[in-house]
Structure 1
Amino acid sequence: MRTSASRTGSGPGRMGRIGSGAAAAVAMTLLLTACGGGAGGEDAAADVDFAAEPTGELRGWGFENTDDVGQARLDHAAGELGDVTIELDQTAFDAQKFTTLAVSGDMPDVVQIDRQFVPTYAAQGLLMPLDACFTAHEVDAAERWYPHVLADVTWEDQVWAVPQFYQPPVILTNARVMEEAGVDAGALDLSDPDAFIAAAEAMTVMDGSSVSRVGFDPQGVSKAAQWMLAFGGGVVDESGAPTLDRPENLEAVEFLQQLYEAQGGFSEVSGVIDSIDIFGDGNGYANDLVGAAVFDQWYLNVLTPYADDVEIGAVPMTTTDGSPFTATGGSAFVIPAGAQNPSAACAWALDLTSGDAWIAAADARAATTEEEEDRNGINTGLFTGSPESDQEIRAEYASAEGYPGFEEAIGVYYDVAAEGASLGASPAGQQIRGELENAMTSALVGERSPEEALAQAQQAAMSAYDQVSEQ
């Protein structure tokens, strides 16, 4: 394989950063209004011989700023696909550009996107289902990936993407703050919500009416769907229809509302959190600006240069019965319905996510850990989306010798990965997420009651879902 653009993107432990935001909202509106639903992707896949020997030119898009992990996997795939010439677009995925390419008919062969986009594009007939791709390459999807990771890219009983990465969120604790406040990390357990709130309040420091230290940052807006799952709710049902106003979801919002109020209020807490330089010297753990917070696994890598300045630990989030719990998130490779070389795209995506590819990536990360002094010899492992690869990498590579807090956190992230849940797949997933975030902000700042905010969000989300379903 010859790659004309060798630099492909990755953030912390990822091959690429996924673009969204306002452009995504605009693009999705265009998609809903300009593209009718249909079986375009299924029809295109039916004509593909996925078992054919990969040859020719392959165009990929959605890659940006390669790191050691991404480059190692690309090099591995290069060795497996010697007769394929790959042209990589180094820019990050953009939903509006994707829609434009779909309309123009100039789609690349494989695109790296956030998994939350997959059901939306699948429902619009813009992606090929990949079950035949897996069968042709003798890949058992249920064995290769965690079931909740696979659920992210499953729509109407078909799999529409090749998943990669899985960053389980857990509660990352600050041992210094907890000790000072007389709080045990075991109190951060939803089976006793009153004790949870009391622990957060005890760790909070007020300077008059202002918050100078946040006891617990739940990321109540961005992680709202996960909190709802923890309370037994969820944002969509099995058909993908929104369920934002479920009683369990209301219970979750009311808990978060009380949690913020115990720490000085949502606006005050958000102001402190927004002012923290989480990626630099001003991070909340080195400067004791936070007692505990919900963070995805990648944040451990951010803290490794500060290993001598922080005293971290970790506990899993729990459900209301106290069971360990987390939620999925990550990216995936999709093959657009208009792909010109789908058989090569299938082989390439599977090679990039194979066990051998992940071991090559783990070798590269181990070398980087040894070479870069600011990592302090800490290797937090890789979270691939594949349980077999995760456990092999954990056993052979993950290490934080001399830093027991990091060792504890690494173990918690790995242990909880199997306890994950999918946030749910819906053709209106982006709209539902947007309405949920708006509702959470409205409720937490006190503009509307939780009941009113969720009811309004449900109405708007259902309207978007109905619009998609009718096409």
Structure 2
Amino acid sequence: MKRARSALAVLAVTATASAAILTGCTPAEDGGDDAAGTLDVVFWNYGPLAEGQYQGAADAFMAANEGVEVSLTPVAGENWGTYYANVATMIASGERPDLMLISTEGAQFVHANGLVQPINGYLESDPGAQELRADVADGLIEFFTVDGDVIALADAWNDMVIWYNTDVFAAAGVEPPSADWTWDEFVDVAARLSSDTDGDGANDTYGFTWASNEIFPGILPWVANAGGNLVSDDVCAPTVDSPEVIEAVSFLNDLIAEGIAPAPMPMSDVFTRFQNGTIAMFGAGRWPNGSFGAAGFTAGDIQLYPTGATYKTVAGGGAYAILSSSEDPDLAWEFQKFTLSDEIQELYVGTPDAPGDLIPSRRSIAAQMSEQGVPPANSELFYAIIDDYPPLVPFPAPPEYSEFEATVLRNLQLIFAGDVSVEAGLAAMQSELEPIVTCE
């Protein structure tokens, strides 16, 4: 991580200089079809579906704005943290993109390093933005607000739900879960869906699993529903050795020990095993829809996470932040705003045969998922969660996110592999995170 840290230092200097030049920027008087110019948009190239998804938005914007050219720059990364580090390295080498796709966990990162131009001025003076804002849940605005600065308007988001294989449940004679189920009820259901099919004395089909390469669909929903978080509310200190985190990680570790869950695996492997029926449930947002739709898999449905000491909704959004290095921030704002247009938001909805893998940020458009029968069957739950099942827990997002995520995942791997106890592993994680998660 030393290379990424040095790149961030260079990036902060160049971004600060660019921000000084752009301080006086105000929304362009002319927009829409009168806009002209070029934009370079950086996005996370997470897999085969990524570029097509973002190219669609770029093409639509160019079609609506004659004379505008939008180029996409894919940046690889195993997860959001490594993507941010790789973008930092790219920009430090001399690249100057206009917009950067970020997620909730990147808000503190880009703000602390002076990489973005906040959009408060645009929100206050652009009537079109005010209309869009009224159709977006308050929580989605809060996700991208740091110290009063609105980093970007989220165009799409995800909240964490339990996906369950309806065919596996039906074959086992197990009723689908209800919204008010508890941790104990979850364990009972998951145990009934775990079995040893080859007679070797060890289960080879499992009731549940979670992602090893991401925090968001991994331990975080369980930590939140135990009443905890991985960092303090002010994001100035790690809290991974708290009783709540110990309880949640112990709960998951016990699932492995009891043969109810295998060791966590990369999300791509989770998708495969869920579709072939050897995993009955897993945690994620709406994004599995993309893979399931492409494979013609229709046996997935969703439910709330089970309630532990409390129930909290874990959610995070995505947005195109205007970088302070942009030579045309007004045009970049028009692109960001365009991602909340009917045209783009409806692309996120998808169709029954080709369901989208993101939740539209506009409430009125998100309602089309259930109205049009877009899978999963319980799709209305996605937006209902932010309205009907508060409170919201935004993703913990310290500025040094890349190191934070890598440290958490590495220590969790040791715990779930049985190399260290839960308490000792979390204590070691806390010690490693203290110099990383700090406001000093």
Partner of residue 377, structure 2: 407
Partner of residue 383, structure 1: 359
In structure 2, distance between residues paired with 1:395 and 1:196: 26
Post-superposition shift, 1:414?
4.3
The SS at the match of 1:186 is coil
Identity %: 18
Partner of residue 40, structure 2: 60
Partner of residue 15, structure 1: none
Give the TM-score normalised by the residue count of structure 1. 0.76
In structure 1, distance between residues paired with 2:289 and 2:241: 34
Partner of residue 149, structure 1: 140
In structure 1, distance between residues paired with 2:23 and 2:267: 52
Partner of residue 243, structure 1: 239
In structure 2, distance between residues paired with 1:305 and 1:435: 34
Partner of residue 438, structure 1: 410
Partner of residue 137, structure 1: 126
Does the 8 A contact of 1:69 with 1:362 survive in 2? no
Partner of residue 29, structure 1: 5
Does the 8 A contact of 1:203 with 1:215 survive in 2? yes
Post-superposition shift, 1:340?
1.0
Partner of residue 225, structure 1: 220
Amino acid at match of 2:125: A
Query: Please, which runs of 5 or more residues in structure 2 have no aligned partner?
Result: 78-82
In structure 2, distance between residues paired with 1:240 and 1:258: 29
Amino acid at match of 2:193: M
Query: Which is worse superposed, 56-65 or 37-46?
Result: 37-46
Amino acid at match of 2:62: A
The SS at the match of 2:115 is coil
In structure 1, distance between residues paired with 2:302 and 2:84: 35
Equivalent position to 1:333, from 307, 315, 320: 320
In structure 1, distance between residues paired with 2:39 and 2:203: 51
Amino acid at match of 2:359: F
Partner of residue 17, structure 1: none
1:195–1:98 Cα change, 3 Å: closer
Equivalent position to 1:314, from 290, 302, 307: 302
Tell me whether 1:253 sits opposite 2:249 in the alignment. Answer: yes
1:69–1:98 Cα change, 3 Å: closer
Tell me whether 1:51 sits opposite 2:28 in the alignment. Answer: yes
CA RMSD after TM alignment: 3.5
Equivalent residues, number? 416
In structure 1, distance between residues paired with 2:92 and 2:69: 26
Does the 8 A contact of 1:108 with 1:336 survive in 2? yes
Post-superposition shift, 1:178?
3.0
Equivalent position to 1:394, from 366, 369, 382: 369
In structure 1, distance between residues paired with 2:370 and 2:204: 40
1:209–1:148 Cα change, 3 Å: farther
Tell me whether 1:458 sits opposite 2:430 in the alignment. Answer: yes
Q: Deviations over 1:343-368 (max 9, x none)?
A: 11111111122234323x269x44xx
Amino acid at match of 2:147: E
* Correspondences of 1:61-460 after superposition (within 5 Å): 61-63=41-43, 70-89=54-73, 94-104=83-93, 106-138=95-127, 139-140=129-130, 143-186=134-177, 191=182, 193-206=183-196, 207-219=199-211, 222=214, 223-241=218-236, 242-263=238-259, 269-270=262-263, 283-304=272-293, 311-320=299-308, 323=311, 325-359=312-346, 361=347, 365-366=350-351, 375=353, 379=355, 383-391=359-367, 393-394=368-369, 396-399=371-374, 406-408=376-378, 410-418=379-387, 419=389, 420-460=392-432
In structure 2, distance between residues paired with 1:27 and 1:146: 38
Does the 8 A contact of 2:209 with 2:270 survive in 1? no
In structure 2, distance between residues paired with 1:357 and 1:407: 23
Does the 8 A contact of 1:168 with 1:328 survive in 2? yes
Post-superposition shift, 1:463?
0.1
In structure 2, distance between residues paired with 1:66 and 1:389: 22
In structure 2, distance between residues paired with 1:249 and 1:240: 16
Does the 8 A contact of 1:167 with 1:328 survive in 2? yes
Post-superposition shift, 1:458?
2.0
1:382–1:219 Cα change, 3 Å: closer
Post-superposition shift, 1:261?
1.5
The SS at the match of 2:177 is helix
Partner of residue 80, structure 2: none
In structure 1, distance between residues paired with 2:255 and 2:41: 42
Give the TM-score normalised by the residue count of structure 2. 0.80
Post-superposition shift, 1:462?
2.0
The SS at the match of 2:158 is coil
Post-superposition shift, 1:29?
2.1
Query: Please, which runs of 5 or more residues in structure 1 have no aligned partner?
Result: 1-24, 370-374, 401-405
